[in-house]
Amino acid sequence: MKDKEGIRKRYLQDDVPTRLGGLAANLSRIRSFSGHDANQKTVESLLDESRFFIEWTAAETGIDAAAELVQLQIQLARWRRNWPHIWADVTQRRQVAEQAVQWSRRVLELSGLLGSCGHA
The answer to which of 28-42, 56-70, 106-120 has the lowest mean pLDDT is 106-120
In this structure, what DSSP letter does residue 1 have? -
pTM value? 0.89
pLDDT value for 114? 84
Residue 78 in domain: yes
1 pLDDT higher than 90? no
What is the per-residue pLDDT for 47?
96
Residue 40 domain-assigned? yes
Contact 108, 42 (CB under 8 A): no
* 87 inside domain: yes
Give Cα separations from 110 to 3, 27, 41, 48, 113 (angstroms).
28, 14, 28, 21, 8
Q: Is the pLDDT of residue 3 over 90?
A: no
Reference 87, options 34, 32, 31, 33; nearest CA is 34
- Rounded to the nearest integer, the mean pLDDT of the chain is 92
Task: Decide if pLDDT at 119 tops 60.
Answer: no
Residue 1 belongs to a domain = no
Q: Is residue 6 in a domain?
A: no
- Asked if pLDDT for residue 14 goes beyond 50, the answer is yes
Count CB neighbours of 113 within 10 A: 15
Q: Is residue 120 part of a domain?
A: no
Q: Which residue type sits at 34?
A: S
Give the Cα separation of 34 and 2 in Å (integer): 20
* Structural domain count of the chain: 1
Per the domain annotation, does 4 fall within a domain? no
Q: Which residue segment(s) compose the domain that 86 sits in?
A: 16-111
Instruction: Note whether residue 82 is domain-resident.
Output: yes
Would you tell me how many other CB atoms lie within 10 Å of the CB of residue 105? 13
